[in-house]
């Protein structure tokens, strides 16, 4: 009996092993397929200056597996659409038209565009005057009810209601900044450079390069009003020139990049009171500050573990590790931007890629982000764009 059934048992065991292996292979293939599908493609919108060869806003598709950029061409003709913002629902894109006159009157404009989800093309929905010259930054509040703008030349900030179709109406909130600071060339008057809404949608923080202040406003999204907080501002080091601002994903910390000093200042943020308490100021450079150097963009990685800042003149991206307990920074890398004058950059929603807009070399450069260390490695992928100055991502379903 044993001699008869032993071979059969061995055959059965072998068949089971083969079937088990096949099941594991199918499971692995399925997982890889799901992962590939999940990676997919993200659309990239690029704002530009139209003083030279650019005609407006350009678009690309980013391959999330390789980091390659596929051009979609120009998707909207617009004058100096230097900074962009996307509505939370992904159906509308907003642009700051950084000009000194609009409709034959002093001041700049903001534009609203509907997004064709298939082609990426933009259709103008309307424009509004910003009430100040040189609007250089726009952001949408957390509920998608208002568009906020910073007027660099006018030294002011404004708020515009957004209707259900994404169209913007005339400003419901406007604040004119006053004052000056110590740099006679850059700080004779206010220069509002950015405005960002807090994670809970209760406060708006405006970085004003001309007066070395972060002004904190009580923000009412229901009527689009901006009122002074108590205290009304946080002061930076004289001559620092605060430019762009970023909240940490936890909501506990916040950061401002200082254009003139080439530094980042880290704050503890009190979400209940809307107050900022300085904890640290650190250089974005690994060499001494030199004439012609200045910073531009600052962003926190989606993981909350790393922070990035761009250095113009030095033409680099500074990488910092964030202390999870204190929010303070340790600089771990200063990587080449791959071009000249890195005005802005963006981190894709997966956190795997950083794309830099090099304004004066007319190119986008893609870096891969190491998820453990935060360090940047060139992918070898880049794309030509005339005078690129802003990068925004729209995930595709």
* Domain segments of the chain as ranges: 49-395
Strands 213-220 and 225-235, how do they pair?
antiparallel
pLDDT tens per residue, range 40-93:
999 999 999 999 999 999 999 999 999 999 999 999 999 999 999 999 999 999
Q: Are 151 and 130 a contacting pair, CB within 8 Å?
A: yes
CA dist 79 → 61, 102, 159, 160 (Å): 23, 10, 21, 20
The region that residue 52 occupies, defined by phi over 0 for left and psi between -120 and 50 for alpha, beta otherwise, is alpha
pLDDT, tens digit only, all 397 positions of the chain:
333 333 443 334 343 343 344 334 334 333 333 333 357 999 999 999 999 999 999 999 999 999 999 999 999 999 999 999 999 999 999 999 999 999 999 999 999 999 999 999 999 999 999 999 999 999 999 999 999 999 999 999 999 999 999 999 999 999 999 999 999 999 999 999 999 999 999 999 999 999 999 999 999 999 999 999 999 999 999 999 999 999 999 999 999 999 999 999 999 999 999 999 999 999 999 999 999 999 999 999 999 999 999 999 999 999 999 999 999 999 999 999 999 999 999 999 999 999 999 999 999 999 999 999 999 999 999 999 999 999 999 998 7
pLDDT of residue 39: 72
C-alpha–C-alpha distance, residues 83 and 101, integer Å: 17
**What is the per-residue burial (b if ≥16 Cβ within 10 Å, else e) of 273-286?**
ebbbeeebbbbbbe
- What are the two backbone dihedrals, phi and then psi, of residue 364, each rounded to the nearest 5 degrees? -100, 140
72: which 2 tokens?
A: 């979609």
27: Cα within 13 Å, side-chain hemisphere:
6
> Which H or E run includes 331?
strand 329-336
Instruction: Provide the CA 274 distance to its chain's centre, in angstroms.
Output: 22
Helix, coil or strand: residue 230: strand
In degrees, to the nearest 5, what angle opens at C-alpha 181 toward C-alphas 178 and 186? 95
DSSP summary character for residue 267: E
Residue 50 Cα to chain centre, angstroms: 21
Domain at 49-395, CATH class: mainly beta
Q: Could you tell me if residue 111 is left (phi over 0), alpha (psi between -120 and 50 degrees) or otherwise beta?
A: beta
Instruction: Write the CB contacts of 322 (distance below 8 Å, at least 6 apart in sequence).
Output: 248, 253, 300, 304, 305, 306, 307, 328, 329
60, 44 Cβ separation under 8 angstroms: yes
């Amino acid at each position: 009996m044993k001699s008869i059934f032993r071979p059969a048992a061995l055959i059965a065991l072998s068949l089971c092993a083969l079937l088990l292996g096949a099941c594991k292979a199918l499971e692995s293939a399925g997982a890889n397929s799901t992962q590939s599908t999940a990676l997919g493609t993200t659309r990239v919108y690029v704002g530009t200056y139209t003083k030279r060869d650019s005609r407006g806003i350009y678009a690309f598709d980013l391959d999330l597996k390789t980091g390659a950029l596929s051009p979609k061409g120009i998707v909207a003709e617009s004058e100096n659409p230097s900074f962009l913002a996307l509505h939370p629902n992904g159906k509308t894109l907003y642009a700051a038209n950084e000009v000194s006159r609009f409709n034959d009157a002093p001041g700049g404009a903001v534009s609203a565009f509907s997004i064709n989800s298939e082609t990426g093309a933009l259709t103008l929905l309307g424009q509004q005057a910003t009430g100040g010259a040189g609007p250089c930054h726009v952001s949408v509040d957390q509920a998608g009810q208002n568009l906020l703008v910073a007027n660099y030349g006018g030294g002011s900030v404004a708020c515009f209601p957004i209707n259900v179709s994404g169209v913007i109406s005339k400003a419901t909130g406007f604040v004119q900044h006053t004052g000056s600071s110590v740099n006679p060339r850059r700080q004779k008057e206010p220069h509002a450079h950015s405005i960002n809404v807090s994670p809970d949608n209760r406060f708006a923080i405006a970085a004003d390069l001309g007066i070395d202040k972060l002004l904190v406003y009580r923000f009412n999204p229901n009527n689009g009003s901006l009122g002074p907080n108590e205290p009304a501002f946080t002061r930076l080091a004289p001559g620092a020139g605060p430019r762009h601002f970023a909240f940490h994903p936890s909501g506990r910390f916040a950061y401002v990049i200082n254009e003139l000093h080439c530094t980042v200042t880290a704050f503890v943020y009190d979400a209940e009171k809307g107050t900022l308490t300085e904890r640290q100021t650190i250089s974005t450079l690994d060499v001494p500050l030199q004439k012609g150097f200045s910073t531009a963009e600052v962003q926190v990685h989606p993981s909350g573990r790393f922070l990035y800042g761009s250095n113009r003149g030095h033409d680099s991206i500074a990488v910092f590790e964030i202390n999870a307990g204190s929010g303070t920074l340790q600089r771990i890398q200063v990587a080449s931007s791959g071009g000249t004058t890195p005005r802005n950059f963006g981190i894709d929603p997966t956190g795997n890629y950083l794309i830099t807009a090099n304004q004066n070399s007319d190119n986008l450069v893609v870096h891969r982000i190491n998820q453990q260390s935060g360090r940047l490695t060139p992918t070898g992928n880049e794309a030509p764009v005339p005078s690129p100055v802003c990068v925004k991502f729209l995930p595709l379903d």
